[in-house]
Structure 1
Amino acid sequence: MTAPVLLTEVWRGPILESVHAGHAVICDGSGQIVEAWGDPNATILPRSSAKMIQALPLIESGAADARGLTSAQLALACASHNGAAIHTDPVQAWLTDLGLNESDLRCGPQVPDDEPARDALILADESPCQLHNNCSGKHAGFLTLNQHLGGDAEYIDPEHVVQKACLDAFEGVTGETSPGFGIDGCSAPNFATSLHGMARAMAFFASAEEGADTRQSAAVRLWQAMNKHPELVAGEGRACTELMRACKEPVALKTGAEAFFIAIIPTRKLGIALKIVDGSTRAAECTIAALLVRLGLLDADHPAALKRMNTPVLSRRGIDTGIIKPAATLV
C-alpha cells in the first residue's frame, strides 16, 4: 500500500508549520489512471461527493420524468447546500408536490450555514428543521424515487429498495463491488470504494453521452444540472459554487465531509477524486483548486482560486504572516 503524500502546506513566515497529506487520482473515460498521488487503491467513503451517483436511480427509474423534475431540482438532489431560502423553499415546494411534508424526511435537523437563515431563526426564536439539513435535496430525491418504487417510509434503511438501487448504481459506475458502508451524517448509507473507483465513476459522468443509454443520459443530466445551478449545489462563499463559476470550461464539483472532493470535466472526459487523510477542508479545497489549475481549467490568479490556494495567512491586524499553498508535486 502506498502511503499518503504531501498535498497542502501551511507556512508561517519561513517556517513550514503544518502539512496535509492525502491521495488523489485523475481518471480518463476508459477508467484508466492519468495521474495519481498517494494510493489509488485506498478504501474511502466519498460522503457527499457521491450524491450525483445516488441521484442516478432517480432518473434511470423514470421517477424524475414522471414527476417533471427540473434541472434545479436535480441540482438540489446532488447538493450539500447552505440552508438558505433559495435551498429550503424549493425543497419544501418539492415535498408539497409529492403530497409530503418536512416530517417525511429522514435526514434530521441542522443549523443552516447560511448566516441570514441562521439569524432569522434566532430572531424568531425558532429551531432549525430538516429542510435546513444540507442533504434535504438529496432526501427529496430519495422520497421521489421511493414513491415511484412503492417503498415504505424508512427509505434510509440499507436494505430498502431505494438504497439497493443506489448501491447498484454506485457499484456500476465505480466498477467495483463495495466492501461495505458507513452511515452518513444525514443517516443514509454511504458506500465505500477505492479512490480509483470514485475517480473512475467521475470519469464515467464526464464521458457520458446523451442518448447513448439510460445511465449515460442520466449522468449527463445530473452534471449539467450541477453546472447550471452552482448556487444550489452549495451556496454563496462555498468552494463548489465559486470554483464552478470560475472554471474556464464546464466542470461539476462536489465536496464531501472529511475532506473529500471530486471533479467532473466533460470537455476532457476526465474525473478527479481526492481525499485528505486528516479530514481538513482547507487542504481539500487547496488541492482541488491546484488540480484545476494544473489542468488549465482555472486561472491561478482568479479570486476563487486565491481564496483556497496560495492564500495569505493573516494576523488579526491583517498582517501577512504566511501562506496556504499546494505541495510542489501538484504545481
Structure 2
Amino acid sequence: MTHPVPMVEIWRGPVVESQHSGHAVICDETGQITQSWGNPDQVVYPRSSAKMIQALPLIESGAADAQGLTTEQLALACASHSAAAIHTVRVMAWLDHLGLGEPDLRCGPQEPEDIPARDALIRAGDAPCQVHNNCSGKHCGFLTLNQHLGGGPDYIEIDHPVQRACLAAFEEVTDLASPGWGIDGCSAPNFLTTLHGMARAMAFFAAAREGQGMRATAAARLRDAMIAHPELVAGESRACTQLMRACTEPVALKTGAEGFFIAILPRRKLGVALKITDGAGRASESAIAALLVRLGVLDAGHPAAKRFLNPPVLSRRGFDAGQIKPSAGLL
C-alpha cells in the first residue's frame, strides 16, 4: 500500500466527525519491517524526532567526554523541552561551562511552552530568548561539538563541519542516502529520509549496547539518557515525558513537529516511526500510544495512556462531547 491509512478518529457523539491518516513502520534490529501501515517508503522530514541521531557525533567525536557531559546534558541534547526552569537553568549552565552565552546559540527565541515560565516572563516584562527555544539543548550539543572541531560560529550552515557530521551519521543509521534537506524550526538543517529509514535507525538505537563499538556505545548512551530523564526530554505535561514514565519497561520516545513520533524499545530491539499526514499533534500522540499498547509496553488503562490514547473532546463548559480514538487497524 502506498497511500496513508486512517489512524485516528475524532468522535462527536455517535459520529466520526474527523479523521487523521498517516504512515507507520516498526523495524527489528536487522532493519527489517515487522509491521507497517500506509507507505514505508514515504519520504519525510523526521523533524525533532531525529535529535538523537544529530547527537551521535557529539559522543563519537570525543567532545562529550572531553567536556564531561552528564546524562542530563545528553538527554537535553535530544530534547524538545518546554523551557521550564529545569530546562533553562541547565542550558544556561551548559553554555557557561563552554565559556559561551545565549548570543552564541543559533536557534532563535521562542515563547516557553511551560505556562509558569511563560507567565514569569510576562510579569517581568521580559521577552523570550534563545535559551527558551525548545531546541536549545540540541544547539548546546552542536556548540560543544563545534568547539571540539574548531569550526566557525555559524554551526547551522549546511556545509559546516557540525552539519556534515550530522548528515553522515544520519545517512549511516538510516542506511539511506538523504534525498535532500530543509530548514527546521530552530534554523538547523533537517534531512529527508523514508519512514522505513527512520524506523531502521530507531531499531539500531534500540539494539545498541555499550562496548559494541563507538557508534553503538554512543547510541546506547543517548537512548539511556533519554530514558533516565524523561522530564528533560519534553516536560511534565507532555506526551513524551508522561508516556515514557507510564511504560512497563524502558522506552525512549521523541516527538517531532508536523505529526511525527518515534519510539525506541531496547528490551525488544524494536524501532517505531510514524507520520500523521496532516501534521496534527493530537493524532500522533494518540497513534504512538496505540502502538505502544499494541506492542505490550503500555497498559491502556494507565491514566497517562488514557490521556493521550483516548482524550475526551470537551465542550467549553466541560461537558463530555466525544473522544479521540486510534483507528481499529492501529490497535
TM-score range (shorter-chain normalised) is: over 0.9
- Secondary structure at the aligned position of 1:6 is classed as strand
Deviation string 1:209-249 (CA, Å, 9 cap, x unpaired) is 21010000000000000000000000010000000000000
Q: For 1:219-230, what aligned pairs fall within 5 Å after superposition?
A: 219-230=219-230
CA-atom RMSD in angstroms: 0.7
- Secondary structure at the aligned position of 2:155 is classed as coil
The equivalent residue for 1:304 is 304
1: distance between equivalents of 2:85 and 2:218?
A: 27
Letter in 1 for 2:109: P
Letter in 2 for 1:298: L
The equivalent residue for 2:124 is 124
The structural deviation recorded for 1:5 is 0.2
The structural deviation recorded for 1:14 is 1.1
Asked if residue 105 in structure 1 is aligned to residue 108 in structure 2, the reply is no
Letter in 2 for 1:86: I
The equivalent residue for 1:195 is 195
Deviation string 1:230-274 (CA, Å, 9 cap, x unpaired) is 000000100000000000000000000000000000000000000
The equivalent residue for 1:233 is 233
The equivalent residue for 2:37 is 37
1: distance between equivalents of 2:162 and 2:256?
A: 21
Letter in 1 for 2:321: T
The equivalent residue for 1:22 is 22
The equivalent residue for 1:159 is 159
Letter in 1 for 2:227: N
The structural deviation recorded for 1:319 is 1.9
- Secondary structure at the aligned position of 1:272 is classed as strand
The equivalent residue for 1:169 is 169
Large movers: runs of 4+ above 4 Å: none
1: distance between equivalents of 2:287 and 2:2?
A: 19
1: distance between equivalents of 2:309 and 2:193?
A: 28
Q: Which range moves more in the overlay, 315-324 or 185-194?
A: 315-324
2: distance between equivalents of 1:13 and 1:108?
A: 43
1: distance between equivalents of 2:316 and 2:92?
A: 41
1: distance between equivalents of 2:228 and 2:25?
A: 25
The equivalent residue for 1:217 is 217
Deviation string 1:71-119 (CA, Å, 9 cap, x unpaired) is 0000000000001110011111111111100000000000000111111
Percent identical pairs in the alignment equals 71
2: distance between equivalents of 1:310 and 1:118?
A: 28
The equivalent residue for 2:142 is 142
The equivalent residue for 2:9 is 9
The equivalent residue for 2:46 is 46
2: distance between equivalents of 1:242 and 1:306?
A: 11
Q: For 1:265-280, what aligned pairs fall within 5 Å after superposition?
A: 265-280=265-280
2: distance between equivalents of 1:323 and 1:113?
A: 25
1: distance between equivalents of 2:118 and 2:49?
A: 25
Residues matched between the structures, number: 331
1: distance between equivalents of 2:193 and 2:102?
A: 32
- Secondary structure at the aligned position of 1:219 is classed as helix
